[in-house]
Structure 1
Amino acid sequence: MKTTSKLEAVCRRANDHDVDTLFELIQGYAQKGIMLPRSKEVLKRQIDSFVVAEVEGIVVGCGSLTRLGADLVEIRSLGMTEGYKGLGVGSKLVDSLIAMAKEQKIPKIMALTYAVSFFEKNGFHIVQKEIFPEKVWTDCVNCPKQHACDEIAVLRMID
């Protein structure tokens, strides 16, 4: 664990070798009820949508981008290993995911989150969940929190 803010995190696209690490990282959040679990099989199928952050060659964070419509993607599975939060790793991951959305020419990027201030610091603003019917009908309809969702929707327009 690093405690210095001079930490150098490098983001890259995830690959098949990262599946076990992604699974463990996401599972830790899922057990706390703050992230949806992902099976290793799903991670393998969706590996191209993930980015990882490495510090000194060790994966310390991840995030993914999921297309919800022609002009909308969602940031999912954004998380860091304990000890690396608050050091800029999450912002680098978000920057990488925004770059992926730009490559795909998608102008809107959203997330459902409990970490509103983090996303606001990264250029997102709070919006009503209901403006994303693509999300509601693909994921929320099957979520156990569907009728009592306490996550906050955030949106960023990409230039």
Structure 2
Amino acid sequence: MAVACRKATGQDIDTLYEIIQGYAAQGIMLPRSRDTLEAQIDTFVVAVIEDRLVGCGSLTRLGQDLVEIRSLGVTPGYKGQGIGNALVDFLLAEAKKQDIPKVMALTYEVKFFERNGFTVVPKEIFPEKVWRDCIHCKKQNCCDETAVLKRVD
């Protein structure tokens, strides 16, 4: 089955919400409301197999030269088929198209990101992330995610 990635549209919001809430319920992704998804739909991409939305991710600008991959997830039953890799490739191409040289993520799936060319780095090198998002997170003082970074320039 061929995976096609594309920019998300308003018609994708319900499925995006379901995918993200599934991960949020496991405590491995921040939840996003439907209103938030609607407001940020232009930052999301989706993976589609045979007209079925099977994965998603977003690219959020944190600074002049830095974006973050967020809300990267694959529908249960479709994991291990290269969908996550396809989404990351698409998001990296988007960052390059926007002339943003650094792409970071906070993740529990370090090996996945390393296979995609990212390097583990200290979280502290991203004050943009800390002051924008981490100050509102319940795990702020006990964050168990790992920061990864890739340059695309």
TM bucket, shorter chain = over 0.9
| CA apart distance, 1:86 | 1.3
TM-score by length of 2: 0.99
Aligned residues: 153
Match for residue 83 of structure 1 among 77, 80, 93: 77
| 2:135 aligned residue | 141
Gaps of 5+ in 1: 1-6
Match for residue 95 of structure 1 among 81, 89, 92: 89
| 1:104 aligned residue | 98
Q: Does 1:59 align with 2:47?
A: no
- Deviation per CA, 1:32-85: give whole Å up to 9, x if none: 100000000000010010000001110000000000000000000000011211
Q: Distance in 1 between matches of 2:5 and 2:150?
A: 20
| Runs of 4 or more consecutive aligned structure 1 residues displaced over 2 Å after TM superposition | none
Amino acid at match of 2:119: H
Amino acid at match of 2:85: S
Q: Distance in 2 between matches of 1:152 and 1:13?
A: 27
Q: Distance in 1 between matches of 2:148 and 2:80?
A: 20
Gaps of 5+ in 2: none
Amino acid at match of 1:125: T
Q: Does 1:15 align with 2:9?
A: yes
| 2:152 aligned residue | 158
Amino acid at match of 1:157: R
| CA apart distance, 1:87 | 1.0
Q: Distance in 1 between matches of 2:79 and 2:107?
A: 16
Amino acid at match of 2:126: F
Q: Distance in 2 between matches of 1:100 and 1:158?
A: 10
Match for residue 35 of structure 2 among 41, 47, 52: 41
- Across the aligned residues of Structure 1 and Structure 2, the Cα RMSD in angstroms comes to 0.5
Q: Distance in 2 between matches of 1:141 and 1:53?
A: 31
| 1:73 aligned residue | 67
